[in-house]
Amino acid sequence: MTRRTVNGALWRLRLTRAARPVGADGRRAKPDVLRIGAVNGAYALVAAAAALPRLAVLAVERDGILAEFTEKSDDFAVTLVSHGTFGFIPGEPSAYTQPLYGFFLAGIYWPFGRSWIAVGLVQIAVAVVTAGLVYEIGRRFVSARAGLAAALIATLNPYLIWHDVHVNREVLDTLVAAALVLATLLAAARRSLLLTGVAGGLAGLAVLGNARLVGVPLVVVIFLFWRSRSLVAPALALGAAALVVTPWLVRNKVELGCFAITTDARALWKANNELTYDILARGGWIDDVPRIPGSAFNPEETAALYRDTRRVVHVDECAQMRFYRGLVTDFWREQPGEKTRLAVQAGGMLWDPRVTRTEGRAGAGGLRDAARTWSALYFVPLFALAAIGILRLRREAAVLVVALLVYATIAAIVFVGATRYRVSFDFLLALAAGALLPGRNASRYHDQELVQREFADEERLVNRRLDRWADYRATNPEDVALEALAEIAPERVLEIGPGRGEFAMRVRQDIGAEVVAIDVSSRLVEVARERGVDAQVADVQQLPFGDGEFDAAVANWVLYFVPDLNRGIAELARVLRPGGRLVAVTNSDEHMIELWSLVGDEPLTFSAENGETPLRRHFASVERRDVEGEVVFPTREALLGYLAAFGELHGDDVAARLPDVETPFRTRVRNAVFVADKS
């Protein structure tokens, strides 16, 4: 397939998408009330799915919430609340862990005390918010159904259901990751500097939550540059990330003597030495790597000594960090083969659908370990569906999802792989899997009674013309379509969906061809006939013509309305002579995405991205000619007027959902003209 990109003068866009108009009194129509009810119902379902199983686990595990599987952040939080020192020992500040989760726990312990019910309930609330964010990502950038499915799949992750009520930082990492993805996609779609700053700040927050994510701000910066082709957004995002991280770095420089996210380079060494591979291969964990004989006490060991004897031993964390970091770089340089083995092992462990099990941990060999094995029944289908569904995501969402998952894999290769190091990004897999569900609008576009109502009045077509509301700066896709028809000098042309007959008139006048048109709308057929077009009521799925009657056929912004798309295209191929040509105009999934992402939209069943496949089933060659440009709405009133011109196909009041935006409002127009030739 070859592509052309056409740019040029002003053009008029006919049918794009549809939604219910605002009433003259400005009140929301009844379908919008139903939409709000549906969204609220979805949020209620997602919240229940997130909260109820975790409440059950909390009730069962209450005695172990603060006794088992705790981590350094818990000790830091206790010391901070009790003595004002962020570290293991009062008066001995430390950076031996990332700060975010420790401060989060301190925010719980200070007002509520260190209790299992406080930790459990607050973290369940975090899980509920996370599930809501996943739903919102899916609703805005895939479809409402996909968003609901993704939120349910993600929140019912069996690993998270158990871990989210225990003292584990992944509950907060997942929240930050979901918020980061939503903010980044919205920032790119809206070209909003405020949202760009928020996305950058969240990227910095992710680093403070997990040092393994130190490269995530760079991922965000590259993504925003790709979407904006400007240095402003990437620079702002990077600056916001730095603004969030810098206070922690400065604190460590002042109190410890070095700039560091965490001084625990010993963990990196435990994952990168000549003993690691065999220990992990036999079911152990990096904590089983023996300490170096004669090495100085690390902060955790001095904390244990303090608890037993109240003796304070000062640790030079910066010196230890540099020591272990040097061992790691020496290992990488001197034993590249062993590091390669570790890298392969780490990648395999990260993506193993069985939850990581290790020897010697609580519950080994019991019900808990059995549950870890059976978790593959959840993860294997999720991985498979996500691998297919990623192809259904909009390009910008798919790119960000893949970029973050690739980054997680690279981080595992550098450090070590385990379920807990992937699980914070598993909601991305759920989003991809949810994309396999058909969008709501697909069924609405194929509801023939609704379509008949939608096009019962030609005024709706007139009111949807963008040049009535905005400054258009692009080539008319119909000019490109007309050029494609003229290339074969047809004598007889069939037009599907003639609208008010303007394009048929151009074909007749500019090419000199006879035009026959069909439409399912009797009113639009009548309007086309008034212009002298030979039009009749008929369905493209069952054309009332013989084989090979036409030299060419044209379908401008029509084919995504056809319920059985394959049958409709087959019929068009049937009525074309050998060597005949079909010209079909449609929108890209990214058409006016800066606007549609604000109010909600659904994928089309025949778009620039997916239209080639059904055409190739019936035509010998298929070419896509892209048409791109820009439209500028001068005022909010113009935006509202454009949105209010649409009918029932979205099933809700799109105009009423438009948030406050800066005007003039710019959005990219992206269309495609498919040129398909019959053998």
| Cα–Cα–Cα angle for 212, 216, 222, rounded to 5 degrees | 150
Please check the confidence at residue 485 and state whether its pLDDT lies above 60. Answer: yes
Q: Minimum mean pLDDT among 181-190, 219-228, 263-272, 335-344: which range?
A: 181-190
Q: What is the pLDDT of residues 526-580, one digit of tens each?
A: 999 999 999 999 999 999 999 999 999 999 999 998 988 999 999 999 999 999 9
Helices in 293-335 by DSSP H: which ranges?
A: 299-309, 317-334
Q: Is the domain covering 3-16+464-677 a CATH 3.50.50.60 domain?
A: no
DSSP state of 492: E
Q: What is the pLDDT of residue 647?
A: 59
DSSP state of 667: E
Task: Report the greatest alpha carbon distance in the chain.
Answer: 100
**CA distances, 213 to each of 8, 186, 305, 613 (Å):** 44, 21, 32, 38
375 Cβ contact list (under 8 Å, min separation 6): 158, 159, 353, 354, 355
293-304 average pLDDT score: 92
Closest CA to 635 of 472, 471, 463, 474: 471
Considering only residues 106 and 29, tell me which one the structure prediction assigns the higher pLDDT.
Answer: 106
**CA distances, 564 to each of 291, 574, 674 (Å):** 67, 15, 19
Cα of first residue to Cα of last residue in the chain, in angstroms, is 16
Please check the confidence at residue 508 and state whether its pLDDT lies above 60. Answer: yes
The boundaries of every CATH 3.40.50.150 domain in the chain are: 3-16+464-677
Q: Minimum mean pLDDT among 2-6, 52-56, 658-662: which range?
A: 2-6
Please check the confidence at residue 13 and state whether its pLDDT lies above 50. Answer: no
pTM over cut 0.75: no
150-165 average pLDDT score: 93
Please check the confidence at residue 462 and state whether its pLDDT lies above 80. Answer: no
Q: CA 466 to CA 638: how far, in whole Å?
A: 10
Rg (CA), the chain: 30
Is 11 in contact with 631 (CB distance < 8 Å)? no
Please check the confidence at residue 6 and state whether its pLDDT lies above 50. Answer: no
Q: What is the pLDDT of residue 141?
A: 79
Percent of the chain with pLDDT over 90: 64
The burial class, CB within 10 Å (0-12 / 13-18 / 19+), for 133 is buried
Q: From start to end of 145-189, where are the E strands?
A: none
DSSP state of 286: G
Q: CA 175 to CA 183: how far, in whole Å?
A: 12
Q: CA 397 to CA 390: how far, in whole Å?
A: 9
3-state secondary structure of 191: coil
Q: What is the pLDDT of residues 34-82, one digit of tens each?
A: 444 555 788 899 999 999 999 999 999 888 888 876 789 999 999 999 9
Q: CA 481 to CA 554: how far, in whole Å?
A: 8
Closest CA to 416 of 289, 282, 276, 290: 276
653-659 average pLDDT score: 73
3-state secondary structure of 624: strand
Return the bridge partners of 675, or none.
583, 623
Q: CA 203 to CA 200: how far, in whole Å?
A: 5
Q: CA 9 to CA 13: how far, in whole Å?
A: 13
Is 211 in contact with 262 (CB distance < 8 Å)? yes
Element spanning 4, H or E: strand 3-6
Q: What is the pLDDT of residues 327-343, one digit of tens each?
A: 999 999 999 999 999 99
Q: CA 676 to CA 582: how far, in whole Å?
A: 5
Q: For the residues of 58-122, what is the DSSP string, one character each?
A: HHHHTTTTTTSS--HHHHHHHHHHHHS-SSSBTTB---SS-HHHHHHHHHHHHHH-S-HHHHHHH
Q: What is the pLDDT of residue 370?
A: 56
Q: What is the pLDDT of residue 372?
A: 61
Q: For the residues of 553-608, what is the DSSP string, one character each?
A: EEEES-GGG-SSHHHHHHHHHHHEEEEEEEEEEEE-TTTTHHHHHHH-----SS-T
Is 106 in contact with 75 (CB distance < 8 Å)? no
3-state secondary structure of 205: helix
Q: What is the pLDDT of residue 269?
A: 95
Going by their DSSP bridges, the two strands 621-633 and 665-677 should be labelled as: antiparallel
Mean of the per-residue pLDDT values of the chain: 86
Going by their DSSP bridges, the two strands 492-496 and 550-556 should be labelled as: parallel
Is 159 in contact with 355 (CB distance < 8 Å)? yes
Q: From start to end of 436-524, where are the E strands?
A: 471-473, 492-496, 514-519
| Cα–Cα–Cα angle for 109, 112, 116, rounded to 5 degrees | 75
